[in-house]
C-alpha cells in the first residue's frame, strides 16, 4: 500500500480530534421525502427511498447544495408510509423495516431493525464533517463520515485495486479511493452485519478502516460541499445488491458469445495475423468466440485517427466478415485520447470538446489529449467519429475501452481541469462512468439490434448499467500478481460490478525483453495453466497480454495444451448454467462471482478467506495461486491447497464425486490439471455439449447433474442470444426443483417464448455420487432420461 497523502492524514486527524463541535438538532420537519433537520451548524435531510433504503445529506452550509448525481438514477418517488416522532433525546423515523434514530445532541444517525437491534450507527462525537481545505491550489471543502464498527464485523467491496496484496476484508485497514493507473475506486461497501453503503462523492477519497482501536471506520473525500451517502438494509447481500442496482442502474444482458473464450494479444499487427488466429482455432477445433484487435492498428497515424493502417489492414470489413463466417466475434480497442494532426482532433477542438487533461504517449513521444467525457455534446461527437470510422463501418461487435482513468503523469492536472460538469477535483473518479455512458447510450440508439459488450480498464459506481466489464488492467506475469487477482475480483463484484475479468497469464513481464515472458518455460506454463483455470470460472473468460499464448500455440507442450483444452471445454459445457445466471444478473440483480459472505454471511470463518468464492449458487471455486510444480522449490511444496468448506451444508468434490461435511478445512488435491472445485449439496447443474462456439449447437440435449443432500432449484433461461428482444418479454424459462426427502425432480411448465425457441428437448438426469457424474466429460450411464415438451414433469429418482 502506498503511503497516504499528508493532506488526508492531516484532515483525518483534525476531524477525529474534534469532540465538542458536533452539530445539534434545533428542529425537524416531516416532508414528502422523509425528514429535514435544522442544525445549529448546518442542515441535514434524510430521504426515504424505500422501507430499507435511506439517503443522508448533510452540510455545514446554510442549505443543501443542488446536485445532479452521476451515479444514482433520477428518483421517481419516495416512501409514502412512515412516521416521524420525537422524544427528549432522539428523533425516530420508522418504516416497515427500519427504525432510524437521530441523536439531537450530535445529529448521529443510528439504523436499527424493528426489534431495536442496531444494524449500523454513525460515530457519536464526530460523525459527519465539512471543513475548509485547499487541494492542488483549489479552495474547497473536505468531507467525512465516521461509523461505529463492532470488532467482529467484516467489510467488503470498495472496488478493484489490482496491486493490493492485503486481505479481502477491509476491517482494520485503509484503502486509497482514487481512480488512477493500476488502482480503482468504487465507493460501495457491504458489511457482514447485513447493510451496505454508497458514498455519492466523486473526488479522490480515502477509507480508514482501523479507527478508535478498530471500533470505527471513516470515509474521507478531499472535496465536496456536503456529505451524501446511501444506507441499504439487507440483511442478505443479494437484497442489498438488488436495492443498489435498482438505485444506480440494472446491468443489461450480454450476448451469449460474450461468455465464451476471448482470444487477445498485445498485439496483432495485421489483417493476415488476425485471420491466422481464426484459422488456427477453427482448424484445431478449439472453442473460442472472440478475437480482439488491440492498439496501434492506426500506426503510424496519431492515436484517435480512427483508421486501420491500409498497408497492414487492406480490407477491415472483409476481415471482420471472415471472422463472422467462422462464428467468431470481433472486438477492437478504441481510446478516449487524441493526437494532434487528425481531423477528429481538430473537430473536437473546434467544438470545445477537448479537455486540458493529457497523456504523455511514451511510445511515440507525443502529448495526446483526452476529450471531455463529462460533456454530452463531446460524447455524441466522439461516438459519431468512432461509429462512422470503425464500429458500424466494419461491423465490430465489441469495444475495448482502454485508458479511461484517464492516465496522467500528475493527478493534479486532472483536479485542475475544467470539465463540463465542474472542476476536475470534484469529478476525479467519474471519467470512465461518463465515457462508457456515451458509448452505451449511442450504441443502443444507432445499433439497436446487436447487444453491446464493453471492456473497461476502470469502473465507478453505477457503471454496470453501461454494459461495462471491468478488467484489472496491466498486471504482471507473476504468481504474486495472479494471487492478488482473486480478492480483487471478489471485491469488485461485491461493489456492484457483475462482470469482471483479468488478463489470463498477466499482461507484462518487467524482467523480460520488451515485456514478453518466455511462455515455453515450465514456470510460465504453470502460471498460465493455473490462471486459465481461474479464468474459466470468472464472469468473463479472456486471454490477453504480451507474447503468444493462444491455445494452439507451440509454446504449450502437449500436457499443458490438454489441460487448457479441458477447462475450455468445461466452460462451454457450463454455458447453459452461466447464461442462465447472466439473465438473473439483469432480471434479479444477481451476482455470479460471489463473495462467500453472499451465501455464508453468518459463518465468521469465511470473512478473511481471500481466494475462495462461489460461482453462481453451485460451485465453490478455489484457485491454486502457489507455484507447486516448477521452479527451485517444486518438490518441496506438496500438491494440495487448503480449502475451507463452509458450514450448514454438505459439499461434493466436482472431480471425484466424494462427499464432505461443511464447517471444516481440508487439504484438497491440486495436481497441475486440477483446480479444486466443490459443489454444494442441493445443486442442479445443466451441462450442454462440447462446442467450438457458444451457439454452435442447440441445447436440445442437456445433462442435468443433481447433487443430493438438500432441496434445490435452478431456472434455465433462453432467448435469441444477441438481440434486445428480451426487454420486450421475448424469452423463456423453466425451473428444475429437487425434493431431497422425496427424491423427486420437478420440471416446471415453460414460461414465455421467443422466435426460434426449442419446443422439445431431452434431459439426461445424473444423480452425482462418488465416481459418478464427475468432471468434464459427459456421463455415460445416466439415471433417467426425460423428454420435455414444455409441460410440467415430475419424476422419482
From the list 164, 372, 402, 611, the catalytic residue is 402
User: What's the pLDDT score for residue 12?
Assistant: 60
Calculate the dihedral angle through the C-alpha atoms of 721, 722, 724, 730, rounding to the nearest 10 degrees.
-30
From the list 344, 368, 474, 568, the catalytic residue is 474
Write the secondary structure of 506-518 as one string of H (helix), E (strand) and C (coil): CCECCCCHHHCCC
User: What's the pLDDT score for residue 10?
Assistant: 53
Residue 563 CA to residue 130 CA, distance in Å, equals 57
3-state SS assignment for residue 584: helix
Write the secondary structure of 620-637 as one string of H (helix), E (strand) and C (coil): EECCCCCCCCCCCCCCCC
User: What's the pLDDT score for residue 636?
Assistant: 65
Helix (H) or strand (E) holding 786: strand 784-788
Of the candidates 492, 488, 501, the one whose C-alpha atom is nearest the C-alpha of residue 532 is 501
Q: Is the bond leading into 192 cis (omega within 30 degrees of zero)?
A: no
Q: In what order do the strands lie in the sheet with 174-177?
A: 128-135, 138-148, 216-221, 205-211, 174-177
- 727 carries an active-site annotation: no
Tell me 466's DSSP state.
G
Q: Is the bond leading into 73 cis (omega within 30 degrees of zero)?
A: no
Helix (H) or strand (E) holding 276: helix 271-283
Rg (CA), the chain: 27
User: What's the pLDDT score for residue 20?
Assistant: 43
- 402 carries an active-site annotation: yes
Of the candidates 181, 264, 184, the one whose C-alpha atom is nearest the C-alpha of residue 507 is 264
User: What's the pLDDT score for residue 631?
Assistant: 84
- 474 carries an active-site annotation: yes
Q: How far is CA 609 from the centre of its chain?
A: 19
Helix (H) or strand (E) holding 47: strand 42-50
The pTM (predicted TM-score) of the whole model is 0.97
Ramachandran area for residue 654 (φ above 0: left; ψ -120 to 50: alpha; else beta): alpha
Residue 407 CA to residue 359 CA, distance in Å, equals 6
User: What's the pLDDT score for residue 167?
Assistant: 81
Asked if residue 348 lies in contact with residue 371, where contact means CB atoms within 8 angstroms, the answer is yes
From the list 55, 228, 405, 584, the catalytic residue is 405
Q: pLDDT averaged over consecutive 10-residue blocks of the chain (797 residues)? A: 42 48 91 97 97 98 96 97 97 98 98 98 94 97 98 98 90 97 97 98 98 96 98 98 98 98 98 98 98 98 97 98 98 98 96 97 94 98 98 98 95 97 98 98 98 98 98 97 97 98 98 94 97 98 97 97 98 98 98 98 98 98 96 77 97 98 98 98 98 96 98 98 98 98 98 97 98 97 98 97
First to last CA, the chain: 55
3-state SS assignment for residue 130: strand
> Cα-flanking dihedrals φ and ψ of residue 466, to 5°?
-95, 15
Quickly list DSSP for 472-541: --S-BSSHHHHHHHHHHHHHHHHTT---EE--BT-SB-TTSGGG---TTSHHHHHHHHHHHHHHTTSSSE
> Cα-flanking dihedrals φ and ψ of residue 59, to 5°?
-145, 150
> What is the CB neighbour count within 10 angstroms for residue 748?
18
User: What's the pLDDT score for residue 258?
Assistant: 99
Asked if residue 45 lies in contact with residue 33, where contact means CB atoms within 8 angstroms, the answer is yes
User: What's the pLDDT score for residue 21?
Assistant: 59
Tell me 417's DSSP state.
-
Helix (H) or strand (E) holding 195: strand 195-199
Of the candidates 158, 174, 167, 172, the one whose C-alpha atom is nearest the C-alpha of residue 12 is 174
Residue 371 CA to residue 338 CA, distance in Å, equals 8
User: What's the pLDDT score for residue 14?
Assistant: 45
User: What's the pLDDT score for residue 1?
Assistant: 29
Amino acid at each position: 500500500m502506498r503511503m497516504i497523502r499528508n493532506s488526508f492524514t492531516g484532515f483525518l486527524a483534525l476531524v477525529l480530534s474534534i469532540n465538542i463541535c458536533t452539530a445539534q438538532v434545533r428542529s425537524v420537519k416531516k416532508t414528502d421525502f422523509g425528514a429535514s433537520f435544522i442544525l445549529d451548524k448546518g442542515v441535514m435531510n434524510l430521504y426515504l427511498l424505500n422501507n430499507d433504503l435511506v439517503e443522508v445529506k448533510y452540510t455545514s452550509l446554510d442549505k443543501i447544495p443542488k446536485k445532479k448525481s452521476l451515479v444514482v438514477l433520477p428518483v421517481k418517488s419516495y416512501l409514502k408510509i412512515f412516521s416521524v416522532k420525537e422524544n427528549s433525546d432522539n428523533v425516530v423515523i420508522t418504516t416497515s423495516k427500519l427504525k432510524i434514530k437521530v441523536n439531537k445532541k450530535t445529529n448521529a444517525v443510528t439504523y436499527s431493525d424493528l426489534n431495536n437491534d442496531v444494524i449500523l450507527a454513525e460515530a457519536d462525537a464526530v460523525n459527519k464533517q465539512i471543513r475548509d481545505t485547499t487541494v492542488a491550489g483549489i479552495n474547497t471543502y473536505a468531507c467525512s463520515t465516521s461509523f461505529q464498527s463492532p470488532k467482529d464485523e467484516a467489510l467488503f467491496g470498495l472496488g478493484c485495486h489490482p496491486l493490493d496484496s492485503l486481505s479481502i476484508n477491509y476491517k482494520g485497514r485503509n484503502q486509497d479511493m482514487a481512480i488512477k493507473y493500476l488502482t480503482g475506486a468504487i465507493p460501495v461497501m457491504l458489511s457482514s452485519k447485513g447493510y451496505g453503503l454508497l458514498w455519492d462523492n466523486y473526488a479522490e477519497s480515502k477509507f480508514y478502516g482501523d479507527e478508535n482501536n478498530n471500533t470505527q471506520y471513516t470515509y474521507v473525500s478531499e472535496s465536496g460541499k456536503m456529505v451524501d451517502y446511501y444506507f441499504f438494509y439487507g440483511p442478505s447481500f443479494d437484497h442489498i445488491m438488488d436495492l443498489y442496482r435498482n438505485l444506480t442502474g440494472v446491468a443489461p444482458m450480454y450476448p451469449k458469445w460474450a461468455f465464451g473464450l476471448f482470444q487477445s494479444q498485445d498485439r496483432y499487427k495485421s489483417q493476415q495475423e488476425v485471420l491466422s488466429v481464426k484459422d488456427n482455432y477453427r482448424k484445431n477445433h478449439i472453442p473460442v468466440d472472440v478475437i480482439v484487435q488491440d492498439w496501434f492498428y492506426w500506426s503510424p497515424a496519431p492515436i484517435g485517427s480512427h483508421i486501420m493502417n491500409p498497408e497492414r489492414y487492406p480490407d477491415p470489413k472483409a476481415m471482420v466478415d471472415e471472422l463472422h463466417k467462422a462464428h467468431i466475434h470481433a472486438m477492437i480497442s478504441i481510446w478516449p485520447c487524441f493526437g494532434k494532426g487528425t481531423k477528429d482532433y481538430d473537430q473536437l477542438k473546434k467544438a470545445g470538446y477537448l479537455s486540458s487533461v493529457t497523456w504523455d504517449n511514451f511510445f511515440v513521444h507525443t502529448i495526446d489529449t483526452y476529450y471531455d467525457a463529462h460533456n454530452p455534446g463531446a460524447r455524441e461527437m466522439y461516438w459519431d467519429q468512432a461509429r462512422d470510422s470503425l464500429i458500424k463501418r466494419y461491423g465490430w461487435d465489441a469495444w475495448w475501452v482502454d485508458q479511461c482513468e484517464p492516465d496522467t503523469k500528475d493527478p493534479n492536472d486532472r483536479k485542475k481541469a475544467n470539465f463540463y460538469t465542474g472542476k476536475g477535483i470534484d469529478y476525479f473518479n467519474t471519467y470512465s462512468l461518463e465515457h462508457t455512458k456515451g458509448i452505451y447510450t449511442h450504441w443502443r440508439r444507432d445499433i439497436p439490434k446487436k447487444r453491446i459488450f464493453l471492456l473497461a480498464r476502470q469502473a465507478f459506481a453505477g457503471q454496470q448499467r453501461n454494459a461495462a466489464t471491468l478488467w484489472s488492467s496491466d498486471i504482471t506475469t507473476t504468481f504474486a500478481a495472479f494471487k492478488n487477482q482473486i480478492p480483487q475480483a471478489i471485491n469488485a463484484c461485491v461493489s456492484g460490478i457483475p462482470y469482471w475479468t483479468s488478463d489470463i497469464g498477466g499482461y507484462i513481464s518487467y524482467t523480460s525483453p520488451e515485456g514478453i515472458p518466455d511462455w515455453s518455460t515450465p514456470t510460465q506454463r504453470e502460471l498460465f495453466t493455473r490462471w486459465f483455470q481461474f479464468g474459466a470460472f470468472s464472469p468473463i473468460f479472456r486471454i490477453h497480454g504480451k507474447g503468444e499464448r493462444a491455445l494452439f500455440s507451440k509454446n504449450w507442450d502437449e500436457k499443458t495444451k490438454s489441460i487448457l483444452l479441458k477447462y475450455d471445454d468445461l466452460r462451454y459445457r457450463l454455458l447453459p448454467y452461466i447464461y442462465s445466471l447472466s439473465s438473473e444478473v439483469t432480471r434479479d440483480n444477481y451476482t455470479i462471482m460471489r463473495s462467500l459472505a453472499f451465501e455464508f454471511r453468518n459463518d465468521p470463518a469465511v470473512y478473511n478467506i481471500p481466494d475462495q468464492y462461489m460461482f453462481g449458487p453451485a460451485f465453490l471455486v478455489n484457485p491454486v495461486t502457489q507455484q507447486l510444480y516448477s521452479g527451485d522449490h517444486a518438490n518441496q511444496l506438496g500438491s494440495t491447497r487448503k480449502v475451507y468448506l463452509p458450514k450448514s451444508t454438505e459439499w461434493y468434490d466436482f472431480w471425484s464425486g466424494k462427499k464432505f461435511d461443511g464447517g471444516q478445512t481440508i487439504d484438497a488435491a491440486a495436481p497441475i490439471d486440477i483446480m479444486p472445485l466443490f459443489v454444494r449439496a442441493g445443486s442442479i447443474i445443466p451441462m450442454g455439449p462440447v462446442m467450438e462456439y457458444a451457439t454452435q449447437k442447440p441445447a436440445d440435449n442437456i445433462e442435468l447433474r443433481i447433487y443430493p443432500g438438500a432441496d434445490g432449484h435452478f431456472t434455465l433461461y433462453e432467448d435469441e442470444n444477441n438481440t434486445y428482444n428480451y426487454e420486450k418479454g421475448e424469452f423463456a424459462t423453466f425451473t428444475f426443483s429437487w425434493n431431497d426427502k422425496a427424491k423427486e425432480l420437478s420440471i416446471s411448465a415453460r414460461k414465455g417464448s421467443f422466435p426460434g425457441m426449442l419446443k422439445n428437448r431431452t434431459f439426461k438426469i445424473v444423480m452425482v455420487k462418488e465416481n459418478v457424474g464427475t468432471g468434464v466429460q459427459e456421463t455415460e450411464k445416466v439415471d433417467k432420461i426425460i423428454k420435455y415438451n414444455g409441460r410440467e414433469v415430475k419424476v422419482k429418482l
